[in-house]
Structure 1
């Protein structure tokens, strides 16, 4: 009788990862309320230990052996590093500076209000039951981490949604990108603060100083070389920054974002960058979604996890809408404008999941908290297109208004 090798089992896992979500998305025609990326995230949860793993433990132990999981994790690490790197490159701070008053007011309220709401939700979770704070987490880290998870905007997914709704290149789409870009910087800055390790603060200081010096040299190099060489140099830079950040205790994801943030989008053909994002999402990010699903857990009780997810969802959506509406009143936006912008900015997916993965890696949150955050991210993302599309149809004139 043939004993299946690790390679064969790994390829079985890959067939499952790519086949199941695609068939559900294509045959179920879910694109309006659940794009393929959302279906992949959901199926990552379903295929993990919390759902199918408990219903069919033989399937789970056969397919997801320790060796297979290690292989999948390696692909997932590189996939998400590239994705975060692209998000960093696409930050456009020049436009944000050109509209600094409007951008700073909107971005500040759009981030700060859901952050406060999320911190309140974290406190409520701790009062509700135990089992949410990780073994290495302190209360302030947990509260701030969960609060920031509620404030996150998924910039790459936001771009995909706005492309789908044909507003990305319109004035309102460019404004939303400015707000999301500023919030992206704040998100990673807060993450670095949460991960600050006083036992390794010297090493982290060395990393930041060395990064600043090398980034200056790297930027000079990138300007001097041809575009085809910039891609190779960029990936080398990405791996090196991820390694250095992880060595310093700031997590490789912080390094990946910094690696992209010091690069200029103008160095690359925009069409090529769009294709890279598309192919990363299609080819290797599904492995990250499955790898994420394998980390879900319901040990504090399924009801408690879903209650926590509901509390987080309300805090996230209500906080984002309240903050953006406040900005709209200050800046005297047209009626309905704040609602569209707020609903788009509350899109969580990917970046929040990446953020939560870092908190879980550092044992600041438990698998149960991670599961609740994951459910919240999926729900908030699934709400976006069905809520925003009808609003856009009513306000076509506003979309075309130049700022």
Structure 2
């Protein structure tokens, strides 16, 4: 269902004067309609988008993999080719059909779900004990990796956007903050995968890099949420910001106590050498979805609740490896 004005509705979509428009999801069949009409079905179009994206990424990686380049580079290049830079510029008609405005919203929603589970797996793969073992060198590198783009890029980028590009202050603040946030994210699992591909993860340099990336992720997590509460305080009031902070603290305590004890209960109920039951995996998946929804409503961005839940999963147990595989 989607919003639409009454005059914009076709007669077959009007039901008792309703202002809602029926959006077809599943096709009636290829032979029951014109070939072009098949692209108005969101599920068919989503499947086609995923097929094109993964096929193009696989083809690019087939060639770049021979030069020992990670798959991440192939996926980024596939996104550039299918985006407005290449496809949208040189083949606008194909881009308008394959990545229409409405279909991009569906793809973006699916992307949010994927990012949610990705952040959960980041927490599962992280070993918090690395922070305890980290020394002054790791803390210095991890903090500077986060603080340098925050202090330098924000000030310089905002000045260039306002003075050179003539962008208004509010838009410049949003765009520069978003770009800086991307630079701040080191993504601990991505760093670990690159180190494994380079076969230096067990070296002294590998341990230093892992510890620094973990510290950088944790510090950036704290800084981003502090910035969010500052925005809430400016747009609403101090009372609203404190209320949101209190509810977020309650949610984090709930994750670290109740949900963590449930995870340990799952571990105790799983016999040694036996696989984890599917029912337990479904419970964890539902729990992280609920945590994401509740966190988004109380003031914590949807990806950080699952990330914290992932940190509570004990490392070294089949539960963690099962969650990563599934």
**Given the two structures, how large is their TM-score scaled by the length of structure 2?**
0.72
C-alpha separation in 2, matches of 1:237 and 1:43: 33
C-alpha separation in 2, matches of 1:179 and 1:100: 10
- Report how far residue 67 of structure 1 moved: 4.5
Matched, 1:168 2:201: yes
* Counterpart pick for 1:103 among 109, 124, 138: 138
Alignment correspondent of 2:116:
81
C-alpha separation in 2, matches of 1:114 and 1:17: 31
Alignment correspondent of 1:177:
210
C-alpha separation in 1, matches of 2:197 and 2:128: 24
Distance 1:234 1:52, change over 3 A: same
- Report how far residue 216 of structure 1 moved: 0.7
* Matched residue SS, 2:250: helix
* Counterpart pick for 1:118 among 136, 153, 174: 153
C-alpha separation in 2, matches of 1:146 and 1:88: 23
Distance 1:210 1:110, change over 3 A: closer
Alignment correspondent of 1:25:
61
Distance 1:176 1:65, change over 3 A: same
C-alpha separation in 2, matches of 1:108 and 1:239: 30
Alignment correspondent of 2:294:
244
Greater displacement, 208-217 / 142-151 = 142-151
Deviation sequence 1:150-175 (CA, Å, 0-9, x none): 33313221111111011223343223
Alignment correspondent of 2:15:
none
Greater displacement, 260-269 / 233-242 = 260-269
**Given the two structures, how large is their TM-score scaled by the length of structure 1?**
0.60
Alignment correspondent of 2:306:
256
Matched, 1:219 2:255: no
Distance 1:225 1:272, change over 3 A: closer
Unpaired runs of at least 5, structure 2: 1-33, 271-275
Alignment correspondent of 1:61:
96
Matched, 1:193 2:229: no
C-alpha separation in 2, matches of 1:44 and 1:80: 16
- Report how far residue 233 of structure 1 moved: 3.2
Matched, 1:16 2:52: yes
Deviation sequence 1:335-374 (CA, Å, 0-9, x none): xxxxxxxxxxxxxxxxxxxxxxxxxxxxxxxxxxxxxxxx
* Matched residue SS, 2:122: helix
Distance 1:270 1:240, change over 3 A: closer
Give RMSD over aligned pairs: 2.8
* Matched residue SS, 2:145: helix
State the structure with more CA Rg: 2
C-alpha separation in 2, matches of 1:117 and 1:11: 42
Question: In the TM superposition, what are the counterparts of 1:2-401 in structure 2 within 5 Å?
Answer: 2=35, 3-5=37-39, 6=41, 7-26=43-62, 28-30=63-65, 32=67, 34-126=69-161, 127-131=163-167, 135=171, 139=173, 146-196=179-229, 197-198=232-233, 199=236, 200-201=240-241, 202-226=243-267, 228-229=276-277, 230-268=280-318, 271-272=321-322, 275-276=325-326
C-alpha separation in 2, matches of 1:12 and 1:145: 30
Q: Are the aligned partners of 1:121 and 1:147 in contact in 2 as well (CA < 8 Å)?
A: no
- Report how far residue 65 of structure 1 moved: 3.1
* Matched residue SS, 1:29: helix
- Report how far residue 217 of structure 1 moved: 1.0
